Structure 1
C-alpha cells in the first residue's frame, strides 16, 4: 500500500514503511506497478522481478484517501493446477484483503489526526507563516513523527528565515558601504589614471623638451666651438692690431716731430718774408727819392735848356748837355717808376706770402695740435686694443671652458633624456595598470550595485513572510 505521493504505507520491508517511495525502488517493474497503482484505476499487472520470477499483481485504488493498494504473488503459485492451493490462495487473498481493509481503516483513523496537523503545518509553510504555534501532535507513530518533523522543519525554516533576514539587512548595509567605497575607489582610480595620463603626457613633453634642449645645446655647443675659434682669431687679430697700433704710435710720434720741424721752418720762412717785405718798403722809399731826384733833374735840365736858348750860340753846347740830362732824368724817372711798380708788386706778393705763411703757420700749428691729440688718441687706442686683446683672451678661455661645460651638459641632458624616456615608459605601464584597475573597480562597483539590488529584493521577499 502506498500514499498518494507514492510513499510506502504497508510493505513486507518494514524499513521502507513511511520512509521510501515506490518510485525510488531499484526494480523498474515495481516502479511501473507504482505508476499503475497511483493512476486511480484497478487492474492486473504481470511482470518479471529482478530475480527472474514471473509475478502477478492485483491493484485497486482507495478512493477515500487517494492511496493505492496491490497484492503481488508468484504466477506459478497462483496458477497451480491444484485446486486446493487455488482455493487456499483465494481464501488467503480474501482474508488478507479483509484484514488489510480493516487495518487500513484503523490506520486511517489513527493517521488522520497527524495528517491533519501535518496539512496545517504545510499550509502555514506554504503561506509563509513561520510564527511559533502550540503543538497539536498526539500520535507517536510514523505519521506523528512525520508531522512533528514537518513542524520542526517549519520552525527551522523560520529560524533560517530570521537569520537570512538579519543577514540580508547586514548584506544590504555592507553592499551600500561597498558601493560607496567602490565609487570612491573608482573616482580615486579615475583621478589616479588621469594623473598618470597627465604625468605620461608631461613626461613625453619633458622628453620632447629635453630632446629639443639637447638639439639646441648641440647647436649651441657647435656655435660655442665656432665662437671659440673666432675668439682665438680675434685675439690674434687683437694682438696684431695692438702691434700695428704701437707701430702707428711710433710713426705718429715721428710725424709729430716732422710737423714741429715744419712749423719751425714755416715760422722762420714767415720771419724772412716779413723781413723781405720790410726791405721792399725801404727800397720803395729809395725809389721814391730817386723819382724825386729825377723829377728835379728833369726840371733843372728844362731850366738849363731855357737858359741855353737865351744864351744863343754860346749856350748851344750847354743846351745839348741839358737835353741829355733831361733824357737821362726821364729815363731815370721811367726806371724809377718801373722799379716802383716792381717794388709795389713785390710788396703785394710779399704781403700775400706773409699772409700765406702766417696762415700756413697757423694750419701747421693746428695740425700739430691735431697730430698731438691724435697721438694721445693712438696711445689710448693702443691701451684699449691691448685691454681688448686681453679680454678677448679671457673670453676665448671662457668660451673654451664653456665648450667643455657644454659637452658635460650634453652628457647630463642625454642622461635626463634616458631617464625621461624610462619614466614615460613606466608612466605608460602604470597608466595601463591603473586603467585596468579602474575597469576592475567599475566591475566591482557594478557588482556591488547588483548585490545591493539583490539584497533589497531579498529583504522585500523576506518581508512577505511572517516571522
Structure 2
C-alpha cells in the first residue's frame, strides 16, 4: 500500500518537457561550439590575412626604400665613373663637382671628395665641412669599397640624420681619393611613415649594426637605440628578434610585427599593427555569429517544440489508458490511429486489454464454478460426517450389546459348570438345578433377543457403511473436478504471466514512456503469481483430500468387510443361541426327569458347560471385533471432519480469487 502511495506522490514529468530539457541545451551547446569554431577559424584566417597584408605592405615599403636608395646610388656611381673616365686635375675636379651640385635633391650638399693627403673637395655652394678627412667615418668606410655603397647613418652638423654613400675613385693617381655624398633620411622617413598599406599600421627603420632607429613616426625616437631591456614591449621584442636574426612575422605584446631587410644596407624595416585592430573585424563577426546562433537556437527550439508536441501527443492518451489499467479499469479504449511505433504500442495495448477482459471473465466464471463445487464438497462432507457419527454411535451400541452378550455367556458358562458340579456332587440339589435351569432359560431367551438386536444393528451399520462409501466416492469425484478447475486456473495464471512478460518487454522497448505500463505489467505478474500459488495450494489440498478419501474408502471397505464377517459371526451366535435355547428347553425337560436319571442330567450339564465355554470365547472375539469397528468409525468421523475443513478452505480460496477478479472493471 505504501509503494502505491509513493508512486502516486511521485512527480510525473511530460516526455515533451524532458525532450526539450535534453535537446535545447544540446542545440545551444552545439550552436555555441559552432560559433566558437567559426570565430576561431575567422580569427585565424583574419590574422593570416593581416599578416599577409602586413608582409605585403612592408615588402612594398622595403622595395620603395631600396628603389630610392638605388636611384641615388646610381647617380652617385655615374658621377664617380665620369670622374674616373675624365681623370681631371684638381681644377677640373672642382668644376665637375660644381656642375653636379643640385642635381639630386636627396643629397642637398652635393658630392665631395677626400684625399689621403688630407685635401678635401666639394661644390662651391655646398656647406659641407670636413676638418679631418682621413679620420672621418665616411672616409674610413669609403676606402673599403670600389663601388659606392651606403654606410652607417649619423647626424651631420645641422643635426640631420644622414647616411653617406662612399667609394674609392680610381683615376690613376697615386693619391687615394674617396668620393661621397650625404643622403638625408627625410625621404626614407616619408616612405616609412606613409607607405603602409594597412590602416592603423606603423613602421620604423633600424640599423642593425648598432640598433639605431633611422626612421619612426615618433621623431623623438629617431637616432635612439632599441634594446631588449626596453620598458616598451614592442621595442624590446623587436630588438630581441633583430639580435637573433629571426625576421619571421610574429606577435610581440599586443602587436603583430613583420620584419624586412633592406637590400644593400644593414637596415631592418619593422612594421607593426595592434592585434585589437586585426581582431576588431573578428569580434564583429563573432558578435554577428552569436546573434545568428541565438536566433537559430530560438527557431530550433520552437521547431522542436512543435514537432515534439505533434509526435508525442498520442502518448498522452496511451498514458491515461495505462494509468486506468493500473487502477484495474479495463473498459478503456486506446487510440491506435498513429502509423508509427506509438501506433504499434496502442495496438498492442488494445490487444492486451481485450486479452485481459477475456482472461478476467474466464477467471470470474471459473471462480464461480469453483465456489459451487466447493459448496457441494462442503455439503457432501457434512453428510459424510453425519453418517460417520451415526455409524460410530451404532458401533458403540453394538459394542455395549456384545459386551452384555459376553457377560451373559460367561454367566451361562459359570452356571453350567456349577450345575454340572452340583449334579455330580449330589442329587439333593436337583430342585436348585431346576430353579437354575429356569433362570438359564430366561437368560438364554434374553441373550437370543439381544443377539437379534445385534444382528439388526449390524445390518444398519452395513447399510450406513455402504452409504458412507458412496458419499466418499462422490467426494472423490468432486475432488477430481476441483483438481481440473485448479489446473485450469494454473493455466490461466501461466497465460497471464506470459501476457505480463510480453507487456514488460513492450514497456522496456518504449523506454521512459513505458515505465507506467511496466508497473501495470508487474502488478499483473504479481496477481498471476498469486493466482498460480493459490491454485497450487488448492491442488495440494485437493491431493491431500483425495488421499484422505482413498484412505476413507479403504477403511470403509475394510469396515464393510469386518461388518459382513461380524454379521456372519452374529448369525452364527444367533443360531448358537437358538441351539442353547433348545438345549436349555431340553435340559429343563431333562431336569424334570433328572430325578429319574441323574447320570443323564450330569452328562447334559457337562455338555452345557463345554458349549458355554465356546460361546464365551465367541463372545470375546465378537467384543474385540466390535471395538475395532468403533475405532474405524472414529477414524471415518475424523476423516469426514478433515474433508469438511478442506472444503471450507477451498471455498475461502474461491472467495479470495473472486475478490481479486472483482477489483478489475471489464
The TM-score normalised by the length of structure 1 is 0.40
Determine which structure has the larger strand proportion and give its number: 2
The TM-score normalised by the length of structure 2 is 0.29
Determine which structure has the larger helix proportion and give its number: 1
Question: Which fold has the larger relative contact order, with Cα–Cα distance below 8 Å and residues 6 or more apart in sequence?
Answer: 1
